[in-house]
Structure 1
Amino acid sequence: MNAPDPALAAGKPHSLVEDVYAFAIGCAFVTLGLVWLKSAGLVTGGMAGIALLLSYLLPLPAGLLFTLLNLPFFWLARRSMGNGFMVRTVLANLAITGLALLAPLAFRLEDVNGLFAALFGGTIIGMGILALARHHAGVGGLGIVALALQRRRGWNAGRTSLIGDAIILAASLPVLAPTQFLLSVASAAAISGVLIAWHRPGRYTGY
């Protein structure tokens, strides 16, 4: 068995360059996942799922709805996780919104396979959330609640998110066709699977 990295064991903080790089990757992954799911007409768990669901009902882009829905949770981020976490979370949300608004200018997805969109989109959203969480930031909403409960009570962030996801997906039943609903469940499971596997107490969290 390999010896643990002494820098991680000592809790060595990330450098500014490492934080910026992780933010760029995390925000890009979350945005790309949203675009893939939107192109297939799917939803998912968390605030991303609520934003996607509302984007099918309102004439507003999912990226903008994502940040608007997260506004009330920024106060919770400050209270439960500190000023630094709140500032980073706000910046991450603004970056995701900006990237989502610019995405149509960079590429256009057509004829997307629903199963691929669900699994690929969900997985990279999960990896994006993981990258941001390891650098002391969240994507807002239920993610903040899950991270706060993990930090304070040791609850697994993935499992906590899964409960919220079930409620959000249930709310999408009147809007989605049966096939779209099942694929949306798969996308939410892909997100939670990443967090359950790699973001749990006792493992590297970056702070």
Structure 2
Amino acid sequence: MSPPILQRHTMVDDAQGIFTGTLFVSLALILLGQAGLLTGGTAGAAFLLHYATGVSFGKLFFLLNLPFYWFSWKYMGREFTIKTFLAIALLSALTEWTPQVFKVAAMHPAYAAVLGGLLLGSGCLFLARHRASLGGATIVTLYLQQYKGFRAGQVQLVIDCTVVVLALFVIPAERVAYSVLAAVLMGVFLWINHKPGRYAVT
């Protein structure tokens, strides 16, 4: 029997995948933010600055990613960079706008960590399947893996640990612990579900 013919995602496929993934991530970040938690990577840095300065997460997240677009264009390619820019811009807008129509009156931080971590993992999986990311830290980890031989998971772990250590100076240790739980759940979800070669469609 002949092997199946691979089909690339269409623009409509990419549009719905990037929108859905970004929507999931925005909900996760809103839940984490309302519970006073954070996550790793560039989003975690934006959370730290948000808690320290009061400037909105969406604005900070968009600004923090600006230096990485040239790097992404040069090393990761035009398609990846354009999709990543669109995902970041959409996520920044959603995190600014969604709290006006979606609020949770009371939520235990453990629940926010579990639901937020799984939503983050789901959203990032959607984006990865459509060759997009949420910027900064992800671009660096993918570059180091592709061109320097470092494993992306290890680099991401170093970045996330750095964010967690800095968080201890900004938010209570209990909240940092719940944030670590969210990050672990996200990582386990991606480890189980994001395996090369599992899906034929590219």
Query: TM-score, normalized by length of structure 1?
Result: 0.88
Distance 1:151 1:195 in 2: 19
Using the TM superposition, name which of 148-157 and 132-141 deviates more: 148-157
Q: 1:205 to 1:100 in 2, by over 3 A?
A: farther
For residues 43-68 of structure 1, give each alpha carbon's deviation from its aligned partner in whole angstroms, at most 9, with x where no partner exists.
11111111111111112111221111
CA distance in 1, matches of 2:193, 2:74: 25
* Equivalent in 175, 181, 191 of residue 196 of structure 1: 191
C-alpha change, 1:123 and 1:160, in structure 2 (3 Å) is farther
2:145 matches 1:146: no
CA distance in 2, matches of 1:50, 1:192: 18
Asked if 2 retains the 8 angstrom alpha-carbon contact of 1:23 and 1:132, the reply is yes
1: CA distance, partners of 2:194 / 2:172: 32
After TM superposition, the structure 1 = structure 2 runs for residues 1-207 of structure 1, keeping only pairs within 5 Å, are 6-7=4-5, 10=6, 12-152=7-147, 156-204=151-199, 207=202
Unpaired runs of at least 5, structure 2: none
**d(CA) in 1 for partners of 2:200, 2:83:** 15
How far 1:152 moved relative to its partner? 4.4
Determine the C-alpha separation between the residues in 2 that align with 1:200 and 1:81: 20
Is contact 1:27–1:128 with CA below 8 Å preserved after alignment? yes
Which amino acid counterpart does residue 6 of structure 1 have in structure 2?
A: P
Residue 191 of structure 1, CA deviation: 2.1
Is the partner of 2:182 in helix, strand or coil? helix
CA distance in 2 between counterparts of 1:157 and 1:82 reads 18
Task: Kindly indicate whether the alpha-carbon contact (under 8 Å) linking 1:133 and 1:205 is maintained by their aligned counterparts in 2.
Answer: no
RMSD, matched Cα: 2.1
- The Cα of 1:25 is off from its aligned counterpart by 0.7
Percent of aligned positions with the same letter in both sequences? 38
| Length-normalised TM-score, structure 2 | 0.90
Give the superposition deviation at 1:123. 1.6
Structure 1 residue 202 displacement after superposition: 4.0
Deviation per residue, 1:182-207 (Å, 9 max, x gap): 10111111222223223344444853
